[in-house]
Structure 1
């Protein structure tokens, strides 16, 4: 399979990884960092699996769909957690996570 057919999902994964990295770094600057601990942990997990999913799709791996399904689950959890916080970086991250989860689910069922 050509990676071009997965380009929208690859782009969403990389955009989500960047948003999660930014969110985690910004959460570390918040007043109550301890309150942001789950958000930071999920941001790190999400950024990593998004990059992994993009790499699997880029290589046309036979396991790309399975990785994308897991990526969608992590993105959904991260988006839900980030959505609980009012900080702009959390809200932007939640939006990127929701978009990536949607793209990954579409890719995994294609």
Structure 2
């Protein structure tokens, strides 16, 4: 079982979903459109990857690699903003990207 990896992926998914809701209600929502879309995509990719990894799907490696790619992009976008929420999300996405990349390379 890959419980530590699944926890990282699920934490990233939860953080990204929270951020979508948090910034969706923000007065600067127009300035964050790209960030919000990437957060939503990242959350969706994490959800699917966690399911594939948990059930040892033949697509587990590919989904982890895809999550790593999306998380890298999401990290860069979140780092453009100075608020603590975006900084925390960037850290979470960066960790998820690394863990998923490591996982995808060992299979």
Counterpart among 4, 7, 13 of residue 3 in structure 2 = 7
Q: What is the CA deviation profile of residues 16-36 of structure 1, one whole-angstrom value per residue up to 9, with x for unaligned ones?
A: 001101111111232221110
Alignment of 1:81 with 2:77, yes or no, is yes
Show the counterpart of 1:50.
46
Q: Tell me how far 1:62 sits from its aligned partner.
A: 1.2
Q: Which runs of 5+ in 2 are unaligned?
A: none
Could you tell me whether the CA contact under 8 Å between 1:22 and 1:89 is conserved in 2?
Answer: no
CA RMSD of aligned residues (A): 0.9
Q: Which runs of 5+ in 1 are unaligned?
A: none
Q: In 1, Cα distance between the equivalents of 2:67 and 2:29?
A: 26
Alignment of 1:24 with 2:20, yes or no, is yes
Alignment of 1:72 with 2:97, yes or no, is no
